[in-house]
């Protein structure tokens, strides 16, 4: 908890790059996706996956899948300590072996500021790599009074078109993230939150621009490739 608090103080919740403010994200060339897929029943064997896609074409430029042994126990609210070290290692390998393909932003399967103590996986990875990072979760984390109650379900039903969204504000009054309908053919939303070095508005726009399907392509490709690797 102390380490989480110490790292939380380093999170930057604003845009820091010129491309983030440019129309159409001019200047953005590489978008990364990170994911960890578990392959063993006891949750110890997993595949850490990092991919880098071109932007805006969203073609895979780089792929790194490695089998890892997860030894840290699962503790609610502390998932990052279990998973992030393997993803940091993947980013470091890329920086050493193919520095020209380093992503300008990372999309992570998980939460950022939308977290019990405001420091989810996307924040943790962003701070340790010092890369702009965005949390993209498939389910709502019940934190700060947020709940998947009838009001929330009604708001989700109000999202009629791809790109429609509404804010997630906790009982504390803090804006924790946005609910986004990412694709016209899927009524199941995504939960977007700031990880590091990006503002929430930019995070939502970028995630939407990366969606060919419900899940943004960098995360989708990281997940597909990690599961294929585990099957092999």
45: left (phi over 0), alpha (psi -120 to 50) or beta: beta
Q: Which residues, other chains included, contact 57 with Cβ-Cβ below 8 Å and sequence gap of 6+?
A: none
Q: Burial, 227: exposed, middle or buried (Cβ in 10 Å; 0-12, 13-18, 19+)?
A: middle
- The tokens for 160 are 């009629």
pLDDT in the model for residue 82: 84
pTM of the model: 0.94
- The tokens for 175 are 């804006």
* CA 228 – CA 212 distance, rounded (Å): 20
| Cβ contact 180:190 at 8 Å | yes
Instruction: Give the closest residue to 109 by CA, choosing from 183, 217, 232.
Output: 217
- Quickly state the pLDDT bin for 40 (edges 50, 70, 90): low
Domains and CATH numbers, the chain: 1-231 (3.30.2170.10)
Average pLDDT for 98-111: 97
**Which pLDDT tens digit goes with each residue over 129-166?**
999 999 999 999 999 999 999 999 999 999 999 999 99
* CA 224 – CA 53 distance, rounded (Å): 14
Tokens 């595949």 label which residue?
47
* CA 230 – CA 69 distance, rounded (Å): 13
pLDDT in the model for residue 83: 86
- Quickly state the pLDDT bin for 78 (edges 50, 70, 90): confident
């Amino acid at each position: 908890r102390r380490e989480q608090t110490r790292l939380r103080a380093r999170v930057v919740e604003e845009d820091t790059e010129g491309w983030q403010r440019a129309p159409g994200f001019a200047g953005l060339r590489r978008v990364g996706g990170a994911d960890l897929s578990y392959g063993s029943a006891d949750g110890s064997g997993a595949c850490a996956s990092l991919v880098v896609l071109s932007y805006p074409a969203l073609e895979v430029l780089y792929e790194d899948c490695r089998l890892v042994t997860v030894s840290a126990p699962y503790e609610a609210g502390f998932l990052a300590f279990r998973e992030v070290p393997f993803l940091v290692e993947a980013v470091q390998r890329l920086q050493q072996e193919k520095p020209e393909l380093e992503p300008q932003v990372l999309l992570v399967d998980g939460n950022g500021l939308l977290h019990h103590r405001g420091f989810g996986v996307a924040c943790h990875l962003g701070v340790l790599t010092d890369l702009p990072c965005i949390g993209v979760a498939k389910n709502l984390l019940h934190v700060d009074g947020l709940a998947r109650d009838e009001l929330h379900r009604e708001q989700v039903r109000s999202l009629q078109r791809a790109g429609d969204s509404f804010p997630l504000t906790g009982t504390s009054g803090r804006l924790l993230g946005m609910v986004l309908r990412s694709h016209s053919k899927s009524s199941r939303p995504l939960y977007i939150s700031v990880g590091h070095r990006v503002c929430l508005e930019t995070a939502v726009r970028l995630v939407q621009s990366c969606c060919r399907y419900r899940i943004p392509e960098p995360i989708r490709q990281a997940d597909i490739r990690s599961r294929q690797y585990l099957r092999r």
